[in-house]
């Protein structure tokens, strides 16, 4: 187990729940019975990514994360009516980050690009993540459509001139901001693993993806309980 907060049975049960949810939603798409197929595709995509997160929490070999990430990217790119950027932005962030951490080949980043390019709006953080394998996607990192964290963007900008300061931004976010950013998941302000809302670990995949993308030295935050170090080479 990589996650110390929940049991093995908990994560296995979550995987079963998400797998059944995928099957139900896929059936709706086949039957054309949903009034909002965009939401259905977003839900399927999210469930695949949450399965990948559960596998990581369980301590499974990293190789087991590939299939659910492949499935998430495939379903999101296949249905060109789905606005994943707008409706499932946190999922898209994790999906893009895991694509970097698993070092998927360019074809998968091309599929991620098709998901993003359906919309006229651009998100600076997503665009920079896609630049890991798509050189033409690198953009000015000073602003972002959804502003998930100013420190993420600071790290991207600073990495061009001062990698030490960029790494300090990542460390500061992990130590000071990451846990608070998850509290929106629970109406009672409990930490997520104590709430009734589905819990998929505290790992910040985006921070790790930025670290890898920008070739930062993670020695000052590698031992953070929120940093998925097993996905990062030493």
Task: Name the pTM for this structure.
Answer: 0.93
User: In angstroms, how far is CA 57 from the centroid of its own chain?
Assistant: 14
Give the range among 5-19, 169-183, 188-202 with minimum mean pLDDT: 188-202
- Mean pLDDT for 18-40 is 90
pLDDT at residue 163, as a whole number = 96
pLDDT at residue 87, as a whole number = 84
Residue linked to tokens 């709706």? 28
| Residue 141 reports pLDDT greater than 60 | no
pLDDT at residue 148, as a whole number = 59
Helix ranges restricted to H, the chain: 8-31, 37-58, 66-78, 84-87, 89-101, 106-116, 124-130, 150-158, 163-176, 178-181, 205-213
pLDDT at residue 120, as a whole number = 80
* Count of C-beta atoms within a 10 Å radius of residue 224: 20
Domain boundaries, the chain: 8-134+142-231
Rounded-to-integer distance, Cα 70 and Cα 24, Å: 19
Task: Find, among 142, 144, 172, 164, the residue nearest to 215 by Cα.
Answer: 164
| Residue 188 reports pLDDT greater than 90 | no
Contacts of 68 (CB under 8 A, 6+ apart): 48, 49, 51, 52, 55
7-10: list long-range contacts, CB under 8 Å, 24+ apart: 8/58, 10/199
């Amino acid at each position: 187990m990589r996650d110390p907060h929940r049991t093995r049975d908990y994560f296995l049960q979550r995987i079963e729940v998400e797998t059944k949810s995928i099957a139900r939603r896929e059936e709706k798409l086949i039957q054309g019975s949903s009034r909002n197929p965009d939401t259905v595709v977003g839900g399927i995509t999210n469930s695949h990514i949450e399965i990948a997160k559960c596998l990581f929490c369980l301590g499974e070999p990293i190789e087991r994360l590939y299939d659910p990430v492949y499935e998430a990217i495939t379903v999101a790119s296949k249905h060109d009516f789905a606005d994943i950027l707008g409706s499932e932005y946190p999922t898209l962030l994790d999906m893009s980050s895991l694509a970097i951490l698993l070092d998927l080949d360019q074809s998968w980043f091309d599929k991620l690009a098709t998901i993003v390019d359906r919309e006229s709006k651009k998100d600076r953080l997503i665009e920079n993540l896609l630049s890991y394998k798509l050189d033409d996607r690198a953009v000015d990192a000073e602003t972002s459509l959804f502003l998930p964290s100013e420190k993420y963007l600071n790290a991207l900008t600073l990495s061009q001139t001062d990698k030490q300061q960029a790494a300090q931004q990542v460390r500061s976010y992990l130590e000071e901001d990451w846990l608070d950013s998850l509290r929106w998941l629970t109406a009672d302000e409990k930490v997520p693993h104590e709430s009734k809302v589905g819990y998929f670990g505290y790992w910040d995949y985006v921070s790790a993806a930025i670290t890898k993308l920008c070739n930062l030295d993670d020695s000052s935050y590698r031992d953070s309980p929120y940093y998925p170090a097993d996905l990062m080479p030493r």
